[in-house]
Amino acid sequence: MDPQELLATALRALGLFAFMLAVIRVLGKRTVGNFTAFDLLVALMLGEVVDEIIYGDVTLLQGAVAILVIAGAQYANSWLSYWDHGLDRVLEGQPTVLVKRGELQPDGMRKERMNEKDVLGELRLHGIDDVREVKLAVVENLGEVSVLHEDWAKPLRRADLGGEAAREMEEATGGREPSPERRTDSPRALGEEV
């Protein structure tokens, strides 16, 4: 292949690198690290368009139009889902509840096509082998499972040891969280002696 065409390829690749970087910077950090289904689609579409431009199969103008339209749609989507008018739930979905108050939730599990083994596997990834420790486990819009522990199963904080930290906690929470000496919940929730 003649060197001039190779040089042109390199220049187009370089130009598109800068252009794509600018486009993704403008779209914002949220588009960058967390992929919702729509973000993934946008990334795939953007990636799919670019190779034709680099090889010169389509003109720069055509390529720029395609990229800007896709990016514009994503930009509009980010604002539409920012304004909390219910549309965000349509665009991005809602978290699905898998476990509530230590009990598996068959409806949510069916919705995510997860069986008991799948759910228990996700809990193991959070270091949990007893479902009774789980107050709430949900599948987030980003596809990850997040887990909230029952109060008695939460990791130990400094304030839970009592002393100065516990006083700071009572102050910060306006007494809503009592210091350890006065708490009422405990592993008794398991119904066994611990």
Partner 1 sequence: MDPLRIAVRALFAFVVLHALLRASGKRFVAEATGFDFVLALILGDVVDDLLWAEVPASQFTVAAATLVLARLGAALASAGSPRAAALLGGVARLIVQDGSPLRPAMRAERMNRRELAEALRREGLEPHDWQQVRSARLERSGRVSVLRKPWAQRARRADADRLRDARPGAQG
Q: Given the rule CB under 8 A, which residues bind partner 1?
A: 1, 5-6, 9-10, 13-14, 16-18, 20-21, 24-25, 28-35, 39, 43-44, 46-48, 50-51, 54-55, 78-79, 81-84, 88, 95, 138, 140-142, 144, 146-149, 154-163, 165-166, 168-169, 172-173, 176
Specify the amino acid at residue 175: G
Q: Residue 121 half-sphere exposure, CB side, CA atoms within 13 Å? A: 6
CB 137 within 8 A of CB 119: yes
Q: To the nearest whole angstrom, how small is the minimum distance from the Cβ of residue 15 to partner 1? A: 10
Instruction: Rank residues 88 and 118 by Cβ distance to partner 1 and give the closer one.
Output: 88
Q: To the nearest whole angstrom, how small is the minimum distance from the Cβ of residue 75 to partner 1? A: 9
CB 9 within 8 A of CB 56: yes
Give residues with Cβ within 8 angstroms of 15, minimum separation 6.
60
Residue entry with tokens 């929470």? 173
Q: To the nearest whole angstrom, how small is the minimum distance from the Cβ of residue 180 to partner 1? A: 11
Distance CA 173, CA 167 (A): 10
Instruction: Rank residues 65 and 172 by Cβ distance to partner 1 and give the closer one.
Output: 172
Q: To the nearest whole angstrom, how small is the minimum distance from the Cβ of residue 144 to partner 1? A: 7
Distance of CA 101 to the CA centre of its chain: 23
Instruction: Rank residues 3 and 191 by Cβ distance to partner 1 and give the closer one.
Output: 3
Distance CA 48, CA 40 (A): 12
Tokens of 5: 């065409």
Instruction: Rank residues 105 and 141 by Cβ distance to partner 1 and give the closer one.
Output: 141
Instruction: Give the single-character DSSP code of 73.
Output: H
Q: To the nearest whole angstrom, how small is the minimum distance from the Cβ of residue 126 to partner 1? A: 9
Instruction: Rank residues 4 and 192 by Cβ distance to partner 1 and give the closer one.
Output: 4
